[in-house]
Structures are given as structure tokens and as C-alpha cells.
Amino acid sequence: MSTPSRSADIMRRSREIFPGGVNSPVRAFGGVGGTPVVAERGEGCRLYDVDGREYIDFVLSWGPLVLGHAPPAVLEALDDAMQRGTSFGMPTELELRLGLLIRERMPHLERLRFVSSGTEATMSAVRVARAATGRDGILKFEGCYHGHADSFLVKAGSGVATLGLPNSPGVPAALAELTHTAPYNDLAAVERLIADEGRRIAAIIVEPVVGNAGFIPPDPEFLPALRRLADASGALLIFDEVMTGFRIAPGGAPERFGVTPDLTTLGKVIGGGLPVAAYGGRADLMERVAPAGPVYQAGTLSGNPLAMAAGYATVSLLTRELHARIEARTAALVRGLTEIAARRGVPFSARHAGSMWGFFFRAEPVRSFADAKTSDTELFRRFFHEAMARGVYLAPSPFEAGFMSAAHGDADVAQALERMDAALGAARG
């Protein structure tokens, strides 16, 4: 008689209280099958589940933990802030410090507003764009995920793609009709859409590097063309950098690709593992936000002092030198995986940008969500479970990016590659 694992027991009880047993859908392993493991603690690049198993973690809480789990500097900053109180609902100097630090690294955020989730950030950025242009339409890309606000649940990525539910019931048809979509990297489709609908489009919103349909970088001409098409049609360009911010380059997408958006959304890394996100950009646009202007947006816990302290500690430690070190290890991981797949004769393509990376079981590079769906998702599922059984935790979906942290040393990367080599051998059967 086998003893049920603590993870399985906790998940069984959780399903009796939370929908699907979880508080965010992708955690339920719908994309790979099986029962999720339940986390107990993390340290550096390692994660430990409630059954005492250890994993090298490449999910990192879906991106925020760029310094790894429980970095001492962040814990100290949190402890210091906590001793003074956990929330005031008043301005604090901590907000100012983090705001200025972000603007120093990303000067195109002339003004910004802190919120508590990426969903709030993207929803609010679109509200500003609609107010500024007097238009209602938006253009987004298939497979891009911008949070769960009504306007974005049209051909979305991430959990909605994983579960095969790209459009959600409960979104009013009248609102969904305002959301136009085009395939990522398909300029001809964008040009057609702008020609037909351009005068009604308030904003083009895009993940400058897609992380929510698997990892898909933009073709070299894609982002410059979006900038040009937005300008020509009077739409604003929004870079959703909730995932890519402080991951693909120290200064974000404008530094990496030389294209500057009108508005930017940030999240994940800027909270260092606590709930922080932000939207910002051109001062003339952000000055429309209440109370400076009439576009309303507010939050009881916005700019929460614990979250600001964790964010400041994280972003201030993420220097250019450290960013370069993490990027080098990410490149080594992607190189190693590519070599393993080639040696084993498995169709495979893997890429990275900064400390964000991803792979598909498909020989040709993936340029769109439609391409991603032609990868061998069955092999991914088997590989995911074999990797987990050997102590490597990957995102439980073929349509999610991976992440690297400062806590992943060369030896950890080498150990992860050894484990994934064996996992791929077992997954092929």
C-alpha cells in the first residue's frame, strides 16, 4: 500500500475549497497532467516541496525571483520595513525610492504609477490610451497574455492557451469586439488591420518578447514597424514588459530593440516576489491619471511598503554586471539543451533574451503562437514529468517561458543539464 504524498493530500483538500484546487490556473498542471507538487520553501535556485524533494527551479514564481529564492538582502529589507508597519495608505519615501530607481534604468517612464498586479497595470494603461485618443479599440497579438482584464481575454496566451480557452465566457461581446488581434510577427496582418480599423484603435499592446505562448522573440523589423504603424494611425504603442522588464535588458525593450513605446507596463521583478506592478510612460499621458487628471485608477495597497522594500532591494542589486552574468548562464543553459537534443536526434529549438528563455520540440524556430502549437506538446508533457522526477522544475506548460536567476551558478546549470539529458532520454522512451 503506497502512502499518499503530502502534496497529493493537500491538493485533494484544496480542490474542495479553491476552483481546480488553485488560486491561479496554470498551477493546476492542466497543461501537463498529473498532480501539482506543493511548495514548502525555496533557497537560492532550489525549491523544496512538502515531501522533501528538491528541484532546480526555472520558473522562479513565474519570473519575479531574479535573485533566486529568499535572497538575504531582500529578507533584510523586508524585515526592516516590516518593523515600521505593514501598510499606511499614505505616501512613503520607499515608493519614491523605487520609482526613481526604475526611472533611472528606464528613462522613458517619465511618470509612473504603482499598482499591485500586472493585470491592473495593463488594464490601466489601456484606459489611459483610450482617454488620450478618444478611441475604444485595441490591437493585441495572438498568444500574448496581458492579464485577465476583460479586454485582453481574446486569443490570449499563458493559462488560457494552456487550457485551450483563449476566449473567456463572462466577457461582454460588446467589449470583446473592441479587441482586434493579429498573429505575432505578421506585419502584413497588422498593416491590413490598421488600414481597416486604424482610426478606431487607441493602442497597440504587445509583449516585446513573447513569454506567454512559449518564448518567441520579435523578428528584427516587427517592433520598429509597430512603432511606425502606431504613429501613422494615431494609436499609442504599449509595451507590456510585466514579464520582460529587468529580464531582457537592464533598460527593457527600448534598450534591446531601439524602439520606445508611449506607455509601458511592468510587474514581476520590480516587486522582488511581492505584489507590485506599474504602468508609466510619457508625462503628458500619465498626467491624465487621477488626481493629476480625470482618468480614474486607485488601490488600497498600491505602493505597499513591504512590496516597495522588496522591489527596491531587488532592482538595486540587479546591476548591469549582474544582468550580464545571469544572461551568460542563460545562454549556457540554452546551448547545453540544444546540444543534448541534437545528440539525441530530437527536433528542438531553444532561444533566450537576457535571463528569459524557452524551448520547443520543433526543429524550425517558432515565430508565432500558431507555430508554437505545431511543436510536439506530447513530448513536452513527458519531458516535463521526467525532468521533475529528476529534480528540475520547469513551467508546467509548453506555452510558457523559463527564467534564470542570479542564484543559479555554473555548477547548478551543469547539474540541471545532466538531469534534463537523462529526462529527455526517458521521455523519448
Given the rule CB under 6 A, which residues bind ligand PLP? 62, 117-119, 122, 145-147, 158, 207, 211-212, 240, 242-243, 267, 277
Q: Smallest distance from the beta carbon of 369 to ligand PLP, in angstroms? A: 14
Q: Active site includes 145?
A: yes
3-state secondary structure the chain: CCCCCHHHHHHHHHCCCCHHHCCCHHHHCCCCCCCCCCEEEEEECEEEECCCCEEEECCHHHCCCCCCECCHHHHHHHHHHHHCCCCCCCCCHHHHHHHHHHHHHCCCCCEEEEECCHHHHHHHHHHHHHHHHCCCEEEEECCCCCCCCHHHCCCCCHHHHHCCCCCCCCCCHHHHCCEEEECCCCHHHHHHHHHHHHHHEEEEEECCCECCCCCECCCCCHHHHHHHHHHHHCCEEEEEECCCCCCCCCCCHHHHHCCCCCEEEECHHHHCCCCCEEEEECHHHHCCECCCCCECCCCCCCCCHHHHHHHHHHHHHCCHHHHHHHHHHHHHHHHHHHHHHHHCCCCCEEEEECCEEEEECCCCCCCCHHHHHCCCHHHHHHHHHHHHHCCEECCCCCCCCEECCCCCCHHHHHHHHHHHHHHHHHHHC
Name the minimum Å distance from CB 425 to ligand PLP: 32
153 vs 350, beta carbon nearer ligand PLP: 153
User: Is the CB of 153 or the CB of 309 nearer to ligand PLP?
Assistant: 153
Catalytic entry in 268, 371, 393, 421: 268
Query: Annotated catalytic residue: which of 145, 279, 312, 393?
Result: 145
Q: Which of 49, 57, 186, 240 is catalytic?
A: 240
Nearer to ligand PLP, 159 or 305 (CB): 159
Q: Is 240 a catalytic residue?
A: yes
Q: Give me the least distance between CB of 146 and ligand PLP, in Å please.
A: 5
Judged by beta carbon, residue 145 or residue 222, the one nearer ligand PLP is 145
Active site residue 9: no
Instruction: In angstroms, give the least distance from the CB of 241 to ligand PLP.
Output: 7
Q: Nearest distance from residue 269's CB to ligand PLP, in Å?
A: 11
Q: For ligand PLP, which is the closer residue by CB, 57 or 240?
A: 240
Nearest residue to ligand PLP, scored by beta-carbon proximity? 118
Which residues are known to be catalytic?
A: 145, 240, 268
